Amino acid sequence: MAANRILVAMSGGVDSSVTAALLVKAGLEVVGVTMKTFCYQDTPAHSRTCCGLDGILDARRVADTLGIPHYVFDVEKEFTRDVIDDFVAEYARGRTPNPCVRCNANTKFGDLLRRGRALGCDGIATGHYVRSFRVDDGRAGLLRGLDRAKDQSYFLWGLPPELLPLLHFPLGALTKPEVREQARQLELVTAEKPESQEICFVPTGDYRDLLRKRLTPRHPALEPGPIRHVDGHLVGEHNGYAGFTVGQRKGLGGGFAEPHYVIRVEPATRTVVVGPQEALNSSRVRVNDLNWFHGPPEPGEELRVQLRHRAPDVPARVDAVDASDLQLTLATPQLAVTPGQSCAVFRGDELVGGGRILAA
């Protein structure tokens, strides 16, 4: 679908700045929008989050340079409901969430485009390193970014399928150094801006600070509990299972003959189970909260799955799939397959969907 007026989600970083610039250069009518996702009163003045006050100001400066209108949309209510509340609930359940996936699936695309239609926009663009495609039969989809070091398709499996024909990703065929060089040539204020490092709504860098604010006093996730070895014996005590994730080594105490890691979290008994590295291996994965762009895969189909950000994709066979559950066997066992994290599913370079890891 050819878009006449494109809304660009501008975080105030170099990627979204160059995205807007490339679309302007292509002769398209561009509207810049920055999301106000949460209250900034406790945010450090120069926080390196993607959605802080500095980001809003930098996005506006870039929009002025490019000669495009810029708006700030207050999406705090939607973002809190769909991202922050889910983040807190997942940690309370002993799982490790991925808030960027939730933001993309809800706020950054769907909520923005609904508001953007009031501005006459019929397409949306972001600075993700991913490629979009369209074929003659009208099918639209997503491919990995050409720069595998920056590819962000893993974070986009939750997008509503009906949005795919409306999406634009100008950076999908570029590398990060090429993007920065484009920004320098255009003299954009964001050209040398460092990448955001924290979860945007956790500016302190410690997600437990947020949990303490939003969970009820003496919530079990923040209360002491046992640390047990996989063989059952008591190793020690922790000060809240929400501070642990599968594969974690820090904070487990000493006295082991070999390195030990978190193997699983058991919220019902507030237990953190630890063991040696070989206990982290999983060859089967169960996934729920599924989303497919063009229908689910077939049982027996061989696909590739990515089980965490920056991890390589690995071959997997579909053992069973229905509307709410996907069961996979991995060709080779993988370390630290973590409940709550995303399982992105690919056919070659094409992202076909995914879900959240339920168990391994």
Residue pLDDT, tens place only, 172-189 = 999 999 999 999 999 999
Same domain for 29 and 175, yes or no, is yes
33 and 168 share a domain?
yes
Catalytic annotation on 343? no
Q: Range of 50's domain?
A: 5-185
CB atoms near residue 174 (< 10 Å):
20
Cα→Cα distances 234→77, 240, 272, 318, 329, Å = 43, 16, 10, 38, 32
Q: How confident is the model at residue 125, as a pLDDT?
A: 97
Q: If pLDDT is split at 50, 70 and 90, which confidence band does 200 have?
A: confident
pLDDT in tens, 57-74: 999 999 999 999 999 999
Please indicate, yes or no, whether residues 160 and 309 belong to a single structural domain of this protein: no
pLDDT, residue 297, reads 97
pLDDT reported for residue 196: 77
My answer on whether 41 and 156 are in the same domain is yes
Choosing from 51, 100, 200, 343, the catalytic residue is 200
* Domain co-membership, 261 together with 305: no
- The number of distinct structural domains making up the chain is 3
Query: Within this chain, do residues 247 and 295 fall inside the same structural domain, yes or no?
Result: no
Q: Does residue 204 belong to any structural domain of this protein? A: no
Per-residue pLDDT band for 41 (boundaries 50, 70, 90) equals low
Tell me which amino acid residue 37 is: T
Residues 274 and 292 in one domain: no
Q: Give the CATH number of the domain where residue 272 resides.
A: 2.30.30.280
| pTM as predicted | 0.93
Same domain for 163 and 60, yes or no, is: yes
Note whether residue 134 is domain-resident: yes
Cβ atoms 124, 7 nearer than 8 A? yes
Indicate which residue of 50, 51, 103, 121 is catalytic.
Answer: 103
For the chain, how long is the longest CA-to-CA vector? 67
Residue with more model confidence, 36 or 47: 36
Answer whether residue 1 shows pLDDT above 50: no
Length of the chain: 360
299 pLDDT above the threshold of 90? yes
Same domain, 162 and 243: no
Instruction: Say if 264 falls within a structural domain.
Output: yes
Q: Which of 256, 279, 302 is the last residue of a domain?
A: 279
Residues 329 and 254 in one domain: no
103 is catalytic: yes
| CA dist list (Å): 270 to 61, 204, 264 | 49, 26, 11
Decide if pLDDT at 114 tops 50.
yes
Rounded to whole angstroms, the Cα distance separating 337 from 299 reads 21
| pLDDT single digits (tens) 215-254 | 988 999 999 999 999 999 999 999 999 999 999 998 887 7
